Structure 1
Amino acid sequence: MNTIHWSVEKNVDNLDRYPQIVEAAQYLSDDQVVAFPTETVYGLGANAYSDKAVAQIFAAKGRPADNPLIVHIAEYQQLEKLVIEVSEQAKLLIKAFWPGPLTLIFPRKPGILSELVTAGLDTVAIRMPSHPIALALIRTSGLPIAAPSANRSGKPSPTTAQHVEQDLSGKIAGIVDGGAAGVGLESTVLDCTGQKPVILRPGDITKEEMEVVLSNKMSLASNVLGKSESPRAPGMKYKHYSPNAPLYLVDGESTWIQSLIKEKREQGVKVGVLASTETKIAYDADLVLDCGSRKNLAAVARQLYDNLRKFDQTGVDLIFAEVFPKSGVGVAIMNRLEKAAGHHWIFQKDQS
């Protein structure tokens, strides 16, 4: 398959009538899959009504069939067509955070969306992105667009069109290149269908921000699901965001981490380190990547996936990743790193 590459400036006037957007939207209407930028990461979009179209997402990504997709909309009227009801809590969150990087779980209307989108669940995950190219593409197609991240399943999510091309060129109809994504991590996913809201996947919209809007406490779902459990949102069950080399989260002082690096290198292992700006100078390894300052976790989030992909380009054998505080967007950063590591940790106290 020849993958078309459309380049679009997000700030141009009349994006809905921009030739590249019109052409890409026609591909979506014809049940083809198209990658496009959102404010979080690049998504792999398909007509959410069509089994044929949605099946191509799973095929291109190699995605497990029980892993549900997020539906992207551009108008509030689209939401009413897809869900049974919008709770008062959901209305408050929509008013505060849409368009934006917040996905909400709703009870779905039966017989509307492709069953592949919801993986057989009676709920559906929906968000309204704030990226102007994503909104223009959805509006121009006239369709709700099912769109997981535009990468091979399990690999780091793409934050540039070049990342998408590395993973999916020749497997999808086209890529809309709108430059680098902004947030760098997938959207927050919140289930507010019950009495107490539950965060199924943390993201840029934080627990604290949502609790202020709802005047209500919420919980964070377990980061680990059993093999027989069905995920209610993407990113809950399977290993995700992983570079080729095994990644370990290392919790301890930089001098101790350097001792681990030295030991592995003496064994002939090529070691990569994902470090903060404050500590990178402490490490002597085959590759040390600066993922940003601990004082600016939003910047760490923006660079996370790009850094994980850089390790693949240099062919390291093993990666040690520092840990970050689990507060604010740090919760989302650590959620992604734990998934990337397959929940493999090394603690300094374990070495004493």
Structure 2
Amino acid sequence: MIRDPREPTALQDAVRTLQAGGLVAFPTETVYGLGADAASDEAVAGIFAAKGRPADHPLIVHVPDLPAATHFVAEMPAFARRLAEAFWPGPLTLILPRRPGVATAATGGQDSVGVRCPGHPVAHALLEACAQASPPVLGLAGPSANKFGRVSPTTAEHVRSEFGDALLVLDGGPCEVGIESTIVDCTRGQPVLLRPGVLTTQQIEAACGERLARPHELEQDAPRASGTLESHYAPRARVRLMDAAALQSALDVLGEDAAGIAIWSRAILQTRSGRVPRRRMPDDAREAARLLFAVLREFDDQGVRLIWVETPPAEASWDGVRDRLQRAAAG
């Protein structure tokens, strides 16, 4: 059931559902999340069951502010605190040492926990209302509100199409960012990028005052984190990345026989078939990120078998979009 959070009882109903161990979908600036009480292993199990997600694949815990993170976090290095102060509320998740005995199921049994303070006003209002309730819900485990491995939702209607009308969904409108948060591991003495997002390497390094490493540069294994599987974010149609020249050549070969194909590209391409749905990819990386998942879902709804996407530019600002498309294509 989609609810307008401005309704007098919408937030109260959401809080009561969460207190009772139920699930609530809520908007963030990145994508819609499927929320449960992060401190309740039983409630978190409901997320894994609803999504069809492996129970050892950790979830991100959403908190209303930096002080609230201390309920779940054992310690926060100075560089991690600088990142939180620079980008929270916002699209950044920090992997930190977990406080023993807290959020065991949400973290997949690891001794680390991913925490984030979302910037969407509806998410913030829900988290604040949860924290002030009696008994309080001090944080929400909140993976993307879709079936495991599939395209993330950026509208309330996307969520309803995944889970039906039984799930309470707070409608905060289309997500402004459109792809999941940047994830930085802060458990290994230096910041390590586990998942790119809209925040660039330069922004992160400038904020924390340290070089941002990649997992392969370090000897120890990275903690498991959300959205880092090789195949993820996949629509039903098969995604293929090609440069503009390869896209045009493939269309030339198919000619009027092109069918069951959709194209998302920056380049203006010519086709002799009128049966090829096309959307133009924005030249701006942030705008492309905002539209990415909605475009993939739109093409899926049109019943295409193949989605051909022009490979994003090899620029830092496009890292998050490129990452999501590569994982979608791996499916």
TM-score of the superposed pair, with normalisation by structure 1: 0.85
Contact 1:198–1:218 (CA under 8 A) maintained in structure 2: yes
Query: Structure 1 residues 86 and 284, CA, compared in 2 at 3 Å: closer, same or farther?
Result: farther
Query: Structure 1 residues 265 and 341, CA, compared in 2 at 3 Å: closer, same or farther?
Result: farther
Contact 1:265–1:271 (CA under 8 A) maintained in structure 2: no
Question: Is 1:250 aligned to residue 242 of structure 2?
Answer: yes
Contact 1:280–1:290 (CA under 8 A) maintained in structure 2: no
Contact 1:291–1:307 (CA under 8 A) maintained in structure 2: no
Task: For residue 288 of structure 1, report the CA deviation from its aligned partner.
Answer: 3.6
Task: For residue 320 of structure 1, report the CA deviation from its aligned partner.
Answer: 1.1
CA deviation profile, 1:8-64 (whole Å, cap 9, x unmatched): 35xxxxx9xx42111111111111001010011100000001122111111111112
User: Residue in 2 aligned with 1:226?
Assistant: none
Find the residue that maps to 1:162 and give its secondary structure.
helix
User: Residue in 2 aligned with 1:325?
Assistant: 313
Aligned length: 320
User: Residue in 1 aligned with 2:199?
Assistant: 205
- Counterpart mapping for 1:221-260 below 5 A: 221=215, 232-253=224-245, 256-260=246-250
Q: Which runs of 4+ in 1 moved over 4 A?
A: 264-269
Counterpart-to-counterpart distance in 2, 1:160 and 1:51: 28
Query: Structure 1 residues 291 and 89, CA, compared in 2 at 3 Å: closer, same or farther?
Result: farther
TM-score of the superposed pair, with normalisation by structure 2: 0.90
Question: Is 1:166 aligned to residue 161 of structure 2?
Answer: yes
Match of 2:16 among 26, 31, 34: 26
Root-mean-square deviation (CA, aligned residues, Å) is 2.1
User: Residue in 2 aligned with 1:116?
Assistant: 105
Task: For residue 262 of structure 1, report the CA deviation from its aligned partner.
Answer: 4.2
User: Residue in 2 aligned with 1:105?
Assistant: 95
Query: Structure 1 residues 177 and 284, CA, compared in 2 at 3 Å: closer, same or farther?
Result: farther
Query: Structure 1 residues 122 and 315, CA, compared in 2 at 3 Å: closer, same or farther?
Result: same
Task: For residue 159 of structure 1, report the CA deviation from its aligned partner.
Answer: 0.4
Contact 1:32–1:173 (CA under 8 A) maintained in structure 2: no
Match of 1:77 among 57, 67, 71: 67
- State the identity %: 40
User: Residue in 1 aligned with 2:296?
Assistant: 308
CA deviation profile, 1:43-93 (whole Å, cap 9, x unmatched): 000000112211111111111222110000003332112111110001111
User: Residue in 1 aligned with 2:122?
Assistant: 133
- Counterpart mapping for 1:36-115 below 5 A: 36-113=26-103, 115=104
Question: Is 1:179 aligned to residue 173 of structure 2?
Answer: yes
- Which amino acid in structure 1 is aligned with residue 113 of structure 2? V
Residue ranges of structure 2 left out of the alignment (5+ in a row): 132-136
Query: Structure 1 residues 205 and 284, CA, compared in 2 at 3 Å: closer, same or farther?
Result: farther
Match of 1:5 among 2, 5, 13: 2
Find the residue that maps to 1:204 and give its secondary structure.
coil
Contact 1:106–1:125 (CA under 8 A) maintained in structure 2: yes
